[in-house]
Structure 1
């Protein structure tokens, strides 16, 4: 009995648990399902305009002129590449710390990913960016604000100006984030956001392309699959702009459904509250795990205001068996920790060496050295302060267990990162 009482506490929260859909969204979804009208367009007229209203509201929220709602964040990235005239075989630059749908969107558009190294703080290395531009001749940078880590946007913008690069922002993890007071998603010629369940907005799946240029917006609407019913878009380019592209632009059938929009619209007004709570959860866990001398938290620039839905840290001085022992120790107490340095991609984690479809990229030694110790914890809004403290304690104690075992055997970790 005494040994049972001495067992360390377990985390009993499901870290994949999303917030419930607001009642207004549920009510509208039920209304739509009863009508059967789940398609965003009405052939006999605008039977419902949930998607059109959401596009208008999302564009205003982000601070862009146009928004086209689609079926995923990856689809939004693909459309961004198409409206920026990326052609089959064109090289497109992308930072090496991102998720597979980002290089996947480049391949979807028929282009070739060119991976750029990251630094110790998980964001793009502008020196390697310059080198990759010179080597590849790329004219487009798809910058992924992966896990809400914001690069020095002054430096990125300056590099794009210097190198003649067109910038696309992947903002799947950066809704509500800013750089020096300016919203992330407004720096590039286009930006893409996601409404997949684990993002700031949750429709199960969905995405948004935002941009300011009317010519590109017209093509995005047509690419998304408007069936010439683009008059039902509330924030759209002029009829002249639409007509210019009608017979030249294929239909890719990437539309968002009315049902998804109905679920999303009530969530927009709650985003500031969600972002504040997510950051409070992030900061409490980060402060707790920072008490360990065996991990490193990324340094965020003073100008960056992040919007975190997860926590990342780097273990250093740990070799692969030790990292696996750490992960197993955390899992044994109910805390799943993702690891971007694993030899095989798993779940939502992967690394450049796993993206063979992207073609040869060189060793990417710097990026893989950073990813070798990079760990990731989801932070649902349901976490209490006590949960956050327990998460941090589990991380610290798992690390100490590994370090103590190392000391007993007289061995030292061999794979340093960060």
Structure 2
């Protein structure tokens, strides 16, 4: 049994189980929310093909994604919640594969980082499934795969195919939505810390590998400037860049680092303790304890020791994490939008997901040298993330109950 747990074949099973624990326990009691409704109406009454012209005035590259998914999944709430569960699991497995390409000699790092991303507690919009699967999560998968194929190309004797795949996936990840504009900086950082030598040698090697991706990044920047300032989307007023002062910028930076790097990981404790002894809070805390026990047992019996003598590695994770958080905040900050947790605005956390996860991982690696204690900390962080997502699910469950009650009142009281 222990050998099976340690095998690579068990990892997808682990991701599936944790996905169900975090996101699936209340799945039958959730439905459509907010922007899901107009999208569902378009899919049912106008047909999936209508998404292409519908998105043309503001996000023309997003329309094909909506067309594909709504052709695949009917506009039924339960179907989309199940689909969201599948997509979330795919994100975790994709992140694991990508980090294995970046750090093949560090299987534990790859696994823990991807588990942090799987349960990432700063992003509460999972249940607004029809909207956010298309708007953020699918492009995010493309970008993760692009990172992975970049490093697969570096270790391949015939890298051309992998480079082309990485470039195509980068296009699919960056052009549909401006959310991930800042993510490209992470590729540069991953490459910089991957190469050996002094700073100048590493910088030179990084540029030699990164320049094709840089060209696409520049093209995307030019496209955004044209489209949002001079093109069909000119009616959308973005005044943040004009009103952003040095002081407000510093505050926004510190706010993003505090929330994404620290607070979101313990937020569930604050939320549940405020509402004790409410049944939902007790259930959330019970799930955290159960998840911690299972994860601690798993990590204790499967932990693979790594080269912990390399003291610079946790520092590199922290640096990548800090810059990744700030790059992820850049698009929403430029638009003057707040980073408010437990609201629709925490959707901007999706672009900080990688940076925040690596930052916390680096902090834990740096502070806890004992492998046994470190595994307990990892288990606790993941368990808290599972608890946070269950807490979020219950909020959306209550919202769906209220919606159904309103619709029932309308059908019963309003004459046909």
Q: Is TM more than 0.5 here?
A: no
Higher-helix-fraction structure: 2
TM-score, scaled relative to structure 2: 0.27
Higher-strand-fraction structure: 1
